[in-house]
């Protein structure tokens, strides 16, 4: 059992947000950040059985910006 899972969270090019788990094939997306958090919880519950489910879910937010001179 792994106690923790990490998601990389960012804005979707189509609008809304998307999240991808590191080390697991879990991906989800939603229109709002609040909906995304709920979708992540649902995805983790679907991916793991009760004995294997991580107890901590970390969300690392990534924001891309382009600067020009």
pLDDT in tens, 9-50: 999 989 999 999 999 999 999 999 999 999 999 999 999 998
Report the number of distinct structural domains present in the chain. Answer: 1
Is residue 69 assigned to a domain?
no
Is residue 39 assigned to a domain?
yes
Virtual torsion, Cα 56, 41, 29, 65, nearest 10 deg: -20
Cβ-contact 47, 63 below 8 angstroms: no
Is residue 67 assigned to a domain?
no
pLDDT at position 1 is 52
Is residue 19 assigned to a domain?
yes
Range of 38's domain? 4-62
What is this structure's pTM? 0.88
């Amino acid at each position: 059992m792994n106690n923790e899972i990490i998601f990389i969270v960012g804005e979707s090019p189509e609008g809304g947000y998307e999240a991808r788990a590191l080390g697991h094939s879990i991906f989800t997306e939603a229109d709002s950040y609040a909906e995304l958090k709920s979708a992540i919880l649902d995805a983790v519950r679907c991916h793991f059985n009760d004995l294997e489910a991580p107890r901590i879910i970390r969300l690392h937010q990534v924001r891309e910006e382009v600067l020009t001179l």
